Amino acid sequence: MITIRKSNERGASNFGWLDSKHSFSFGHYYDPKNMGFGTLRVINEDIVDGGAGFGTHPHDNMEIISYVLEGALEHKDSLGTGSVIRPGDVQRMSAGTGIAHSEFNASESDPVHFLQIWVLPKQRGLTPSYEQKSFPPEARKGRLQLVGASDGRDGAVTIHQDLDLHVANLAKGDAVTHTLAPRRKAWVQVTRGEVTVNGEVVRKGDGAALTDEAEVKIAANDNAEVLLFDIGA
């Protein structure tokens, strides 16, 4: 079964400096029918104005993944970590027993466009930690590249949950297939372009939830970028 979460059906918040779209309930946006998908709890698509950002704030017991689409995002946290996240980078922060961090646009003039993804951890009370890796774009052209995994295999960042995250950049006409093990589910988030997922058209900003499917077939109707979450039972 496949269910499409349309871009224009997402929750929305606009604070002037921040334009945010919420695939699942978040902050002031509450939707009891969209509280997450398996252990995938948050997908926020954020655009932050130049010179603006999120001041220092706390988190706990959550795996937080940042994926930049355009621009650059500056990160600082209470572990003493400081970094700039750019397109092609994947950052994973395990909030665990508690961490505080800030996220600001690294540019004073140009916006930064990114996804903030929250995953429920496999257990509470983990030691807070941080990881960031850069993945060369040529490795995901026309194919799914593993960028996050519970075991950190193949150079992926380690996500403390039974969840694999893949990214693909597809040219028009490209097609990829991902096999799902029994009892696993998948979420496909389209960040650019338009694709067909198991026969359903999925456009920029849309998400596709797949359950009881043996595989995920993604065909690009236009130049496109997709994130594929392979989620355990």
What structural domains and CATH numbers belong to the chain?
A: 10-134 (2.60.120.10), 137-231 (2.60.120.10)
Task: Give the pLDDT score at 80.
Answer: 87
Over residues 192-217, mean pLDDT? 98
pLDDT > 90? residue 77? no
Residue reference for tokens 């593993």:
146
pLDDT computed for residue 100 by the predictor: 93
State the chain's mean pLDDT as an integer. Answer: 96
Q: What is the mean pLDDT of residues 156-171?
A: 98
| Residue that has been written with the tokens 């397109």 in this structure | 87
Distance CA 10, CA 49 (A): 21
- Residue with the bigger pLDDT between 79 and 221: it is 221
Tell me the average pLDDT across 2-17: 96
Spatial neighbors of 113 by CB under 8 A, at least 6 apart, are 45, 46, 47, 68, 69, 70, 71
Chain segment 18-36, per-residue pLDDT in tens = 999 999 999 899 999 999 9
Q: What is the mean pLDDT of residues 126-154?
A: 96
What the block records as the tokens of 46 is 């954020």
Q: What whole-number distance in Å separates Cα of residue 61 and Cα of residue 110?
A: 32
**pLDDT reading at 61 higher than 90:** yes
Cβ atoms of residues 113 and 42 within 8 Å: no
Produce one character per residue of 42-59: b if its CB has 16 or more CB atoms within 10 Å, e if not.
bbbbbbbbbeebbeeeeb
pLDDT tens digit string along 92-139?
999 999 999 999 999 999 999 999 999 999 999 999 999 999 999 899
